[in-house]
Amino acid sequence: MPLRSDWSGDRCPIARSLDVVGDPWALLVLRQALQGARRYEDFRRSLSVADNVLSRRLAHLVEAGLLRREPYRDGGRTRQEYRLTEAGAELLPVLNALAQWGERHRPHADPAVHMDVVHTACGAVTAGPDRCTACGAELAAGDVTWRKSWAGDTALVGV
């Protein structure tokens, strides 16, 4: 009797996806990874997440193939950083769709607070999660900027 259901073998692809990313922390970690977070501390600080939760989440996402561990040199030591895999980066449409839905249906208390999905090449705000509604180009992680009214724009990083 597991704590949580296992949908990894479900016939519905939505259920199989949710088995991996049907958890707020998983998607928030991926959101940060798309915005350039790589190191444990990057994630911890930007997400205010408890350490045990973060290390478990990272391990799960690595095991699921959405992130990959890469060693890097920190002075005399070898540490690990977490980079998006292609599978991880291709969750961008899911995150964009959530962002666009949230902007529309869960507005912030302060009406000046917004985040737009911008197609970097043409500079237009797009309402489509995977394709620019202005110029029609397909949107991969490297082509998108999240424009935030409360902070600098963030150009997303691909694999």
Binds DNA by CB under 7 A, chosen from 17, 35, 46, 55: 55
70/68 Cα distance (integer angstroms): 6
Nearest approach in angstroms of CB 22 to a copy of itself is 3
Nearest approach in angstroms of CB 29 to a copy of itself is 12
Nearest approach in angstroms of CB 62 to DNA is 10
Under the binding rule (CB under 7 A), the answer on residue 35 touching DNA is no
User: Which tokens hold the place of 97?
Assistant: 């769709």
Binds a copy of itself by CB under 8 A, chosen from 45, 56, 79, 108: 108
* Residue 12 binding partner per list DNA, a copy of itself, none, with a CB distance cut-off of 5 to 8 Å that depends on partner kind: a copy of itself
* Residue 125 binding partner per list a copy of itself, DNA, none, with a CB distance cut-off of 5 to 8 Å that depends on partner kind: none
Under the binding rule (CB under 7 A), the answer on residue 71 touching DNA is no
The length of the chain is: 159
121/155 Cα distance (integer angstroms): 11
In three-state form (DSSP H/G/I as H, E/B as E, the rest C), the secondary structure along the chain is CCCCCCCCCCCCHHHHHHHHHCCHHHHHHHHHHHCCCCCHHHHHHHHCCCHHHHHHHHHHHHHCCCEEEEEEEECCEEEEEEEECHHHHCCHHHHHHHHHHHHHHCCCCCCCCCEEEEECCCCCECCCCCECCCCCCECCHHHEEEEECCCCCEECCCC
* Residue 55 binding partner per list a copy of itself, DNA, none, with a CB distance cut-off of 5 to 8 Å that depends on partner kind: DNA
Residues that bind DNA (CB under 7 A): 1-5, 23, 25, 39-42, 48-53, 55-58, 74-77, 79-81
Rule CB under 8 A: which residues touch a copy of itself? 4-5, 7-9, 11-24, 27-28, 31, 48, 65, 87, 90-91, 93-95, 97-106, 108-109, 113-115, 128-131, 148, 150
